[in-house]
Chain A
Amino acid sequence: MRYLLRRLLWMGAALLGVSALIFILVRLLPGNIIDIIAGTEGQLSRSQRLEILHSFGLDRPWPVQYALWVWSMLHGNFGWSFRTSQPVAGLLVSRLPTTVELAALTVALVTLVGLPLGILASITRSARLKLAVQIVGLLGLSIPNFWIAIVLIIVASFAFHWLPALIFVPPWQDPWVNLQQMFLPILSLALGLAAVVVRMTRSSMLEVLGQEYVKVARAKGLGSRVVLLRHALRNALIPIVTVLGLQMGFLLGGVVITEQIFGLPGLGWTLLNGVYQRDYPVVQGAVMLFAITFVVTNLIVDLIYTTLDPRIRYE
C-alpha cells in the first residue's frame, strides 16, 4: 500500500517532468508562435501582436506560463486547438477509446497466440528449434509494423477485395463492423510482438522446467499438463510479463503509425494530425496523454508481478 502510494507520487513527479519537457520544447519552436497561430507573417502590426500575445497569456514570464498551464491541465483544461478552436481535452477524450481498444485487443491476441505456441515449443530442447524460435523472435523485433500493415493491406485487397474503411465505426455503434475494421490493424501490431513472446515463453519455460520443484511435481505423479501449466507456467510468466511490459512502449509507438495507415481516429492519429497542422495545443495534449497512458500501463505491469509471485513485495 505504501509502495503504491510512493509509486503514484513518483508517477505524478514524472508526469510533471514530462510536462516541463513539452513546455520547453514548444518554446524552442523556431519562428514566432503568433505567426503559427494566425498563419500570417509580417502582416500584423506591433500592437496587434502584443494584443494576441496578451490574449493567449504569452506575454507573462515563462515560469508563470508553465504554472498556469499545469494548473489548468489539472483541472482538465488542455487548451484550445489552434485550428478548430475546440477544447483539446474533449477532442482527446473522444479519441482515447479507439487507441485503448487497439492496444488492449493487440495484447490479448499476442497473449492468446504467443503463450500457447511458446509452451508448445518448450516441450522439446532441440537445438534447431531453438535457433528457429530465436530467429523468428528477432524477426518479430526487426520487421517494422508499418510494413506488415502495408503487406497485409495488399494481401487482403488482392485476396479478399478488402480495403481500409473510409469511415470509422466505433464499437458502441456496431461491434461487428468495428471488429472487422480493427482486425488487420490489430494483426499488424500483434504479429511482431507474438514472435517475441513465443521466444521469451520458450526460454523462460525451459529454465523453469529444469528446476527441482518441477521434478518433485513430476515425481509425485502429477499429470504433465498440471505440471506444465500450474507449476511451470506460473513461474515462467514473470520474465514474460517483464518483456511484455518493456514492449508496451513499442506497442504504443506502433499504435501511432498503425492508426495513421488504417485511418483509425485514435490518439496517435490525432497526434500526427496535430503535428502536420502545427496545432501545438493538440500535440502537447496528445503527448501528455501518451505519457499518462504509458506510465499507468507500466504501473499495472509492476502490480501484476505481485499477483504472479507473492514473494515479490515492494517496499
Chain B
Amino acid sequence: MSRVEAELQESPGRSFARVRARRSVGLGRLLQRSPVVIIGGTLIIVVVLLALGAQIIAPQSPVSQTAPPLLRPGHEHLAGTDELGRDEFSRLIYGARVSLYVGVLAVSIALALGATSGIIAGFYGGWVDNILMRTMDILFSLPAIVLAIAITSILKPSLTNAMIAIGIVYAPTFARIARGPTLAIVNLAYIEAARAVGIPNWKIMLRHVLPNVSAPLIVQTTVSLSTAILTEAALSFLGLGTQPPTASWGLMLSAARQYMLIDPWIAVLPGAAIALTVLGFNLLGDGLRDLLDPRIRTM
C-alpha cells in the first residue's frame, strides 16, 4: 500500500462518513439513551418560543408602569410587579429575548474570531500559529468576567458592548478547539491533493478543513451559549451590560437587590429564569458531546 493509500484509509473524511452512517441508524436509540438532550432541548425550545412570541405571550408591555409597585404574584400579575410597578411576568418573558440575543450574537463573534484564528493558525503553522495562539494565550491569562468588565467599562456599558466583550473573551476557547484537529488533518493526502489541484488556501480551509473540525466546534458553541448568557447576566447585574429600562434578567436581579427583603419574588424569579435557560444549554451541550464526540466521555 502506498503512503497516499494508507492515509486515505485513515483520512477523517472516510471515518466521518462512517460515523455519519452509524449515527443515522442509531440516532433514535442514542437520543433515548441520552435523556439529557431531551430535557435540555425542551428547556431551550420553551425559552426560544417565549423569546420569539414575547409580544403575543406577554400580557403587558415590559416597560409600562401602570400597576402599584412590588405587588405579590396574583391573578392580575402572575409574577407580581417590580419596584416601578411593571409587570414582572412580562419582563421575564422579554428578558428571554435579551438573553438569547446577546448569547447568540456574542457566541457568533467568539466563534467567528476564534475558529478563524484557530484554523488559520493550524493551517499555516510557523510564526502565524505562534502569533495567533500567543495572543489567545494572553486573553486566557485573565478570568473571563474580569476581562469582560475591563472591556465594557472602557467601551462604555451597553448591550452591544457587553456582547462584543463576551465575544472577545470566549474567542480563545474556540481557537484552541479549532486548531487541534486542523493540525491533525492539514498534512493528510486530501488536503495535499486540494493544494496540488490549485485550490486557493482560503477555499481549502473553508471547504475541506472546516467541515472536519466542526463537531467539537458545535459542542463548544452550545456550551458557550450557556456561559455567554451567564456572563451577560453578570455584567448587567453589575450595571455594565444591558441598560434600563430594557428587561434583562441580570438587570432585574440587580434592581431587585434593594427590595429583596420586602419582596423576595422579584429577586428569586429572574435568577431562576437564568438558571433554567443556562441549564438547558448545558444539558444539550453535554448530551451532544456524548453523541458527536464519543471519544470524550464525561461520565
Contacts and interface: CB of A to CB of B under 8 A. Distances in A.
Interface string B173-190: 000000000000000000
Contacts of B150: 22, 25, 283, 287
A134 B286 contact: yes
Interface string A172-192: 000000000000000000000
* Chain A contact surface mostly: helix
A102 to B, nearest CB: 14
B267 A287 contact: no
A157 interface: yes
B251 to A, nearest CB: 12
A294 B143 contact: yes
Nearest to A11: B141
A21 interface: yes
B268 A151 contact: yes
A299 B278 CA distance: 30
A96 interface: no
B237 A154 contact: no
Pick the most buried of B150, B156, B268: most chain A CB atoms within 10 A of its CB: B150
A249 B240 CA distance: 19
Contact of A150 (B154, B271, B282): B271
A203 to B, nearest CB: 5
A144 B236 CA distance: 12
Contact of B274 (A144, A157, A272): A144
Interface residues of A, number: 54
Interface in A252-287: 252-254, 256-257, 260-261, 271-272, 275-276, 278, 283, 287
Interface string B136-157: 0111011111110111011110
A14 B138 contact: yes
A37 interface: no
Interface residues of B, number: 53
Interface in B209-267: 226, 230, 233-234, 237-240, 250, 253, 256-257, 260-261, 264, 267
A203 B297 CA distance: 9
Interface in B119-163: 134-135, 137-139, 141-147, 149-151, 153-156
Pick the most buried of A21, A28, A252: most chain B CB atoms within 10 A of its CB: A21
B35 A131 contact: yes
A249 B155 CA distance: 23
B298 interface: yes
Contacts of A92: none
A142 B278 contact: yes
Contact of B264 (A26, A154, A261, A276): A154
Contact of A30 (B147, B156, B233, B253): B156
A260 B142 contact: no
A104 interface: no
Contacts of B275: 139, 142-144, 147
Contacts of A142: 226, 230, 275-276, 278-279, 282
Given A253-B143, A291-B146, 6 more contacts: A135-B283, A142-B279, A144-B271, A257-B237, A275-B149, A287-B150
10 contacts: A14-B138, A17-B137, A25-B151, A25-B154, A142-B226, A144-B274, A150-B256, A150-B260, A150-B271, A291-B142
4 nearest interchain CB pairs?
A147-B271, A253-B145, A17-B138, A142-B279
